[in-house]
Amino acid sequence: MNSKYRYLIPNGITFVSLTCGILSILFSASGHFMLAGSLVLASYILDLFDGYTARRLRAASEFGLQLDSLVDMVSLGTAPALLLFMHLQSVGMTGWWVWPFIIVVPLAGAFRLARFNLLPPKKSGNTDSVGLTISTGGATLALSVVADLSIPGAYLPEWTFVLLAFLISALMVSTIPFPSFFWIFARKEITIVLIFLFGITILMTPFFHAWFLWTIAYLGLSLVRAGYNQVR
């Protein structure tokens, strides 16, 4: 592929991700929370592939790195925070004390992105991230809303959303190592078992609810892994 044009593919994916984030904000403001959350999750999936595509095509660039950070700030920092805020208002949680917990999400995300951009390149074989990525944090918040909406009438307690926003923010600014999903699925036998278990979970509960539960499991296992390594 021509060296000039191969950069268009990963950067194009990033711009599509940004479009999803902007649309999510508009749909959240219009009260279409399920669609808004789905667009955040679409942006999350696209975010996984733009970097992978850039590496495969040898099209990584400083422009792409900065663009990706700016898009993440909108699509996976601001959009999920607004979605969570609007959802809480829709279920009657309108107190002013909720605002700081919502505002801190994009603030923590911005801190995480700025720190990431200043870190030296990872050593070969090291796939851990320093602190929870803004993409996983934003996707988790969006999943909490769409999972809640996927079961009619089965609302989670309102305080759990506020607590989750605080925990996600704390994990983003922390230095806890979080393994990448590519590392988790690096071994074929583990991948087969996880896919099988995820399929069983989907059969027992709605798709978004299953996805949310598995994301929470990932966060919990990452914390256990970090604690074990620290003690060892």
Strand partners, 217: none
Residue 184 to residue 178: CA distance in whole angstroms = 11
Q: For 186, phi and psi rounded to 5 degrees?
A: -70, -30
Residue 189's pLDDT is 63
Positions of the chain with pLDDT under 70: 1-4, 59, 122-126, 153-155, 181-191, 193-194, 202
Structure tokens at 17: 């991700």
First to last CA, the chain: 48
Q: For 59, phi and psi rounded to 5 degrees?
A: -120, 20
Residue 21's pLDDT is 97
